[in-house]
Amino acid sequence: MEITEKSFESLVRAEFAPKSTYLNTASNSLLPARTVAALHEAALLRAEGRPLTSLYEDVEACRAGYARLAGVPATRVAVGASVAAHTGVIAAALPAGAEVLTAEDDFTSVLNPFHVRGDLKVRHVPLERIAESVRPDTALVAVSAVQSADGRIADLAALREAARTHGARTYVDFSQSAGWLPMDADAYDFSASVSFKWLLGPHGAAFFVVPEDFGGLTPVLAGWVAGEEPWDSCYGPVAELAHSARRFDLTHALFTFAGLRRSLELIEELGVAAVHEHDLALADRFRAGLAALGHEPVSAPGSAIVSVPGLGDRQPELSRAGIEVSNRAGNLRAAFHLYNTPTDVDRLLTALSA
């Protein structure tokens, strides 16, 4: 059912009551009220000595919820704690000397596990040239769907086609896009995302999508939760790994998943398409206002993240004024999400005009 503008607004206002002009989702999102309540209840289970069974159910609900957003079966989704850990599993599976193609200055979690191997050929090129830079000896292309530093959106369709032409595999980090930009994880060999940005969740959870045949990966970080029967896998080596992507699970941060379940439910209730329309309208309003002030942001059409060169040093004074943005590489970075309003945009523009 398509959500109306009025119902979108009422649902969002019921969940969020920020005490500042918060435009920093690219760092961390605000938490919905339902998520805060779930975190509190989860903590009470521990405090009062009650069974934690429901928290394990939350983990599986999150796996299924993310799978729906990603457009893949839940059997292809592993849950862990960080994108870097998932990247590390991919890096560990590559043969010595394999070439990994990356975008210049992409987020470290997407890149560093390949570099620390020491025996891989890691090549980096400007984001705009990544598709044309795939060549026959490229084993893997690793890139963020949306760049953390400045909001530029990768041409994933072109990248996918180039990789297919040359027989390369693809790895996409959706951390800065999952929740506001529609995603099709099935189009890529591997993908990952954290939960504490546009998915509105707490810290401590990440998702990892792998092929049905696991794509040649070995679950080198597997513990007891990666067993087909986890509670029978607590002692000694795991006798039988999970038959699904759960074999790549890391020990679950149970409180986090208790809250994240409610955050993912909210995203689904609102619909990514409606969130995308809302977020982009605000970002475009900010871009137009910047032009009127004589500022030119980094070119990132269609992005909910706007990065303005030369203004990053104004972040502290804006924070003191109750406007939360971030300073990335000297750029002022503003990130617009469902709890933001045109008033938030105008307040930032007014502050920047002073």
pLDDT in tens, 315-328: 999 999 999 999 99
For residues 130-138, average pLDDT? 98
Q: H-helix or E-strand containing 129? A: none
DSSP 303: -
Contact 200, 263 (CB under 8 A): yes
Mean pLDDT score of the chain, rounded to an integer? 97
Contact 107, 148 (CB under 8 A): yes
pLDDT at residue 182, rounded to an integer = 96
pLDDT at residue 1, rounded to an integer = 56
DSSP 173: E
Q: Tokens 């469902």 map to which residue?
A: 338
User: Percentage of the chain with pLDDT > 70?
Assistant: 99
Contact 196, 28 (CB under 8 A): yes
Indicate the pLDDT class of residue 5, thresholds 50, 70 and 90: confident
Contact 147, 127 (CB under 8 A): yes
For residues 147-151, average pLDDT? 97
Residue 193 β-bridge partners: 207
Delineate the domains of the chain, giving CATH numbers in brackets: 5-30+271-353 (3.90.1150.10), 45-268 (3.40.640.10)
Neighbours of 119 (CB within 10 A): 9
Contact 193, 248 (CB under 8 A): no
> Whole-structure pTM over 0.85, yes or no?
yes
295-314: b (≥16 Cβ within 10 Å) or e: bebbebeebbbbbbeebbeb
Angstrom CA distances, 297 to 19, 208, 288, 312, stand at 27, 32, 10, 12
Give CA angle at 57 (16, 252), nearest 5°.
Answer: 85
pLDDT in tens, 101-124: 999 999 999 999 999 999 999 999
pLDDT at residue 3, rounded to an integer = 82
